[in-house]
C-alpha cells in the first residue's frame, strides 16, 4: 500500500512539474522572440520602457519556471534525492521571498497614496531630463496612459519642473496627440504648454493607472493565492517523495 501511495505521488509530481516546465518554456520563448525579433514588434516594445521592462520580467519568470519544472520532473521520475532536495529548497526560497514581498507591501502601503506620489512628483520630476530615471518613468506613464500629473495638471504648480521651466505650465508629456490616421505629433504643443485645457490631458495618472489595472489587480491577487497554494503542495509532495525513497 505504501509503495502504491509513493508511486502515485511520484507520477502526480511528474505531471504537475511537466506542466510548470511547459509554461516556463512558453514564457521563455515569447520573451526571447520579442528581444531578438529584428523587425516589427521589437520596435514597439523598445519605444515603451514599461513594456520593455515587462519583457525581461517575463524572461526571468520563464527561466525560473523552466528550471523548477525540469528539476521537479527529473527528481520525481529518477527518484533522485539530491534533485528533490534542491527542488524543495528552491521552492522554499521562492515561497519565503513572495511572503516577504507581501509583508513589505502591507507595511509600506502608505507609500502608494496619492499624497505620497504628488509630493515625490513635485520634488523630483524635471520634465525633459530623460537621463533621470524618475523623470523618464513619469514621462513613459503619462505618454502611455494619456494622463497628466498624479491627480491633475495642477500638480505641477510649485514644483521643481516649474522652477526649471518657468514658461511652461505642464510638461510636453501632458500634451494631447493627434489620433487621426496618417497624422502624428501633438494637437497644439504651444497652447498645451501655455496651459490650455483643450490641448492637454486633464485626467490624473493615479486614476488612469488604477482604472486600467483594476481588473488585473484582483486577478493578480487570486493568482498569487493559487501560486502560493501550489508551492505549498509542491513542497509537501517533494518532501514525501524524498522521505519515501530508500
Q: Write the pLDDT tens digit of every residue in 141-153.
A: 898 889 999 999 9
Instruction: Give the integer Cα–Cα distance in Å for 170 and 129.
Output: 15
Query: Is there a contact between 73 and 15 (Cβ–Cβ < 8 Å)?
Result: no
At 171, is the pLDDT very low, low, confident or very high (cuts 50, 70, 90)?
very high
* Residue 47 pLDDT greater than 70, yes or no: no
DSSP state of 39: S
Q: Which helix (H) or strand (E) holds 225?
A: helix 205-244
Instruction: Give the integer Cα–Cα distance in Å for 43 and 35.
Output: 10
Alpha carbon 101 to its chain's center? 14
The listed range with the strongest mean pLDDT (43-57, 101-115, 187-201, 211-225) is 187-201
Instruction: Give the integer Cα–Cα distance in Å for 227 and 159.
Output: 43
DSSP state of 170: S
Instruction: Give the integer Cα–Cα distance in Å for 59 and 126.
Output: 32
pLDDT in tens, 92-131: 887 887 778 778 767 766 666 888 889 989 999 988 877 8
Q: What is the pTM of this model?
A: 0.55
Amino acid at each position: 500500500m505504501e509503495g502504491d501511495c509513493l508511486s502515485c505521488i511520484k507520477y502526480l509530481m511528474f505531471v504537475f512539474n511537466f506542466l510548470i516546465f511547459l509554461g516556463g518554456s512558453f514564457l521563455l520563448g515569447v520573451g526571447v522572440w520579442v528581444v531578438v525579433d529584428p523587425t516589427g514588434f521589437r520596435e514597439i516594445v523598445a519605444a515603451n520602457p514599461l513594456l520593455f521592462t515587462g519583457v525581461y520580467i517575463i524572461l526571468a519568470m520563464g527561466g525560473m519556471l523552466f528550471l523548477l519544472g525540469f528539476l521537479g520532473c527529473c527528481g520525481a521520475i529518477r527518484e533522485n534525492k539530491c534533485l528533490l532536495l534542491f527542488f524543495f529548497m528552491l521552492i522554499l526560497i521562492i515561497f519565503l521571498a513572495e511572503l516577504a514581498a507581501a509583508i513589505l507591501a502591507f507595511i509600506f502601503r502608505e507609500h502608494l497614496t496619492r499624497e505620497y506620489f504628488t509630493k515625490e512628483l513635485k520634488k523630483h520630476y524635471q520634465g525633459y531630463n530623460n537621463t533621470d530615471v524618475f523623470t523618464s518613468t513619469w514621462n513613459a506613464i503619462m505618454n502611455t496612459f494619456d494622463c497628466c500629473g498624479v491627480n491633475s495638471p495642477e500638480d505641477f504648480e510649485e514644483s521643481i519642473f516649474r522652477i526649471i521651466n518657468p514658461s511652461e505650465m505642464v510638461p510636453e508629456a501632458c500634451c494631447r496627440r493627434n489620433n487621426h490616421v496618417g497624422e502624428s505629433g501633438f494637437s497644439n504643443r504651444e497652447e498645451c504648454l501655455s496651459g490650455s485645457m483643450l490641448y492637454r490631458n486633464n485626467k490624473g495618472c493615479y486614476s488612469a493607472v488604477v482604472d486600467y489595472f483594476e481588473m488585473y489587480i484582483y486577478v493578480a491577487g487570486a493568482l498569487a493565492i493559487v501560486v502560493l497554494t501550489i508551492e505549498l503542495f509542491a513542497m509537501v509532495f517533494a518532501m514525501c517523495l524524498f522521505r519515501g525513497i530508500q
